[in-house]
Chains A and B, each alone.
Chain A
Amino acid sequence: MRHRTLHGTRPGTLHGTRPGSRRCCGLFSRSRQSADCEGCSPGGGGGGSGGGGGGGGGRMFTTGAESLLRQAREIRDEELGKFCARVCALLRKEDWGPGAVDALRRLFLIVSATKYSRRLEKPCVALLQTTLCSPTCPEQLQLLCAAVLREMSPSDSPSLSCDHIQGTRQLDLVASVLLAQGDQQQVRSLGQCVLKVLESRQPEGPSLRHLLPIVSKVTSLAPDALREEQTRALSKRLGDWLRYASVQQGVAHSSGGFFSTPRARQLGPVTEVDGAVATDFFTVLSTGQRFTEDQWLNVQAFSMLRAWLLDSSPGGSSAPDVDDRSELEGSTLSVLSAASAAGHPLPPQEWLQEKAFEYCQRLLEQSSRRALRKADSDLQKACLVEAVLVLDVLCRQDPSFLYRTLSCLRPLYTRLRGDPAWVRALLPVARFFLRHGEAAAVDAEAVYQHLFTGIPAEHFHSPMLAFEFVQFCRDSLPLLGRNLGVLRTSFPNLFKFLAWNSPPLTSDFVALLPSLVDAGTAVEMLHLLLDLPCLTAALDLQLRSLQTASERPPWDVSIRAPGCLEAFRDSQVQGLFQHLLRAQASGTAERLTPLYRLLQPLAGCARVVQCAEAVPTLLRAFFSAVTQFADGVLASQLALLLLERSDSLYQVPGYEAGVHRVLGSQFPALCKLHPPLVVEQAKELLEFVGGPRGGGHVLASVVWAIGEYLSVSWDRRCTVEQINNFFEALEALLFEVTQSRPSTTLPKCPPQVISVLMTTLTKLASRSQDLIPRASLLLSKMRSLAQSPAPGSVCGEDAGAVRTRATELLNLLKMPSVAQFVFTPSVAASEPRYHRDTNTALPLALRTVSRLVEREAGLLPG
Chain B
Amino acid sequence: MVHVFLIHTLRTTKAEEGLCRVLYSCFFGTENSPNDPQPHGAERDRLLRKEQILAVARQVESMCQLQQQACGRPAVDLQSQSSDDPVHLHESPCGAFRLTAGDPFQEPRTVVWLGVLSLGFALVLNAHENLLLAESTLRLLARLLLEHPRLLVPTANLLLRADCIEGILARFLPHGQLLFLNDQFVQGLEKEFSAAWPR
Contacts and interface: CB of A to CB of B under 8 A. Distances in A.
Are A and B interaction partners?
yes
Interface of A: 1, 30, 35, 38-46, 50-51, 53-69, 72, 101-102, 104-106, 108-109, 112-113, 115-117, 139-141, 143-144, 146-147, 150, 152-156, 172, 175-176, 179-184, 187, 210, 212-214, 216-217, 220-222, 273, 284-291, 299-300, 302-304, 307, 320-321, 373, 375-376, 378-379, 381-383, 385-386, 389, 424-425, 463-464, 467-468, 471, 475, 503-504, 507-508, 553, 555-557, 605-607, 610
B180 A507 contact: no
Nearest to A386: B130
A39 B150 CA distance: 8
A379 B26 CA distance: 25
A140 B12 CA distance: 34
B10 to A, nearest CB: 8
Given A57-B82, A555-B72, 19 more contacts: A30-B160, A58-B118, A58-B154, A102-B160, A105-B161, A105-B163, A116-B43, A117-B42, A140-B197, A182-B29, A214-B175, A217-B28, A285-B182, A378-B132, A379-B180, A382-B180, A464-B96, A504-B96, A507-B100
B46 to A, nearest CB: 6
Interface residues of B, number: 96
Given A56-B79, A300-B179, A467-B95, A61 B163 contact: no
A121 to B, nearest CB: 17
Interface string B85-121: 0000000001111101000000000100000011100
Contact of A68 (B62, B159, B182): B159
A291 B186 CA distance: 11
A504 B159 CA distance: 29
A30 B161 CA distance: 13
B14 interface: no
A62 B118 CA distance: 8
Contact of B166 (A46, A146, A183, A508): A146
The 6 closest A-B CB pairs, nearest first, are A58-B118, A54-B82, A58-B79, A44-B153, A182-B30, A64-B156
Given A62-B18, A467-B96, A54 B157 contact: no
A172 B27 CA distance: 15
A65 B152 CA distance: 12
A61 to B, nearest CB: 5
B197 to A, nearest CB: 7
A46 B85 CA distance: 10
Contacts of A299: 179-181, 185
Given A62-B21, A220-B1, A57 B180 contact: no
Interface centre among A60, A146, A213, A607 (most CB of B within 10 A): A213
B80 A179 contact: no
A587 B94 CA distance: 37
A116 B174 contact: no
Nearest to B180: A284
B133 A386 contact: yes
Contacts of B133: 382, 385-386
B34 interface: yes
Given A62-B21, A375-B186, A503-B67, A115 B100 contact: no
Contact of B74 (A184, A464, A555): A555
Interface in B14-67: 16, 18, 21, 23-32, 34, 41-43, 45-47, 50-51, 54, 62-63, 66-67
A390 to B, nearest CB: 10
29 contacts: A44-B84, A45-B153, A54-B81, A54-B83, A57-B81, A61-B9, A63-B18, A65-B159, A69-B21, A108-B162, A109-B159, A117-B43, A187-B29, A213-B176, A285-B182, A299-B181, A300-B179, A303-B178, A304-B177, A307-B1, A321-B128, A379-B183, A382-B130, A382-B133, A471-B98, A503-B62, A503-B66, A507-B100, A607-B72
A857 B141 CA distance: 76
Nearest to A384: B132
A152 B183 CA distance: 36
B82 A43 contact: yes
Given A1-B155, A303-B179, A555-B74, A184 B34 contact: yes
Interface string B169-199: 0100011111111111110100000001110
Contacts of A172: 170, 174
A106 B156 CA distance: 12
A378 B41 CA distance: 44
Contacts of B1: 216-217, 220, 307
Question: Interface SS of chain A: helix, strand, loop or mixed?
Answer: helix
Contacts of B81: 54, 57
Nearest to B173: A213
Contacts of A504: 63, 95-98
B84 A46 contact: yes
A62 B67 contact: no
B163 A140 contact: yes
A151 B42 CA distance: 12
B9 A62 contact: yes
B162 A53 contact: no
B184 to A, nearest CB: 4
B28 to A, nearest CB: 7
Contacts of B43: 116-117, 156
Given A302-B180, A386-B133, A39 B185 contact: no
Contact of B66 (A60, A379, A610): A610
Contacts of A288: 184
B153 A40 contact: yes
B142 interface: no
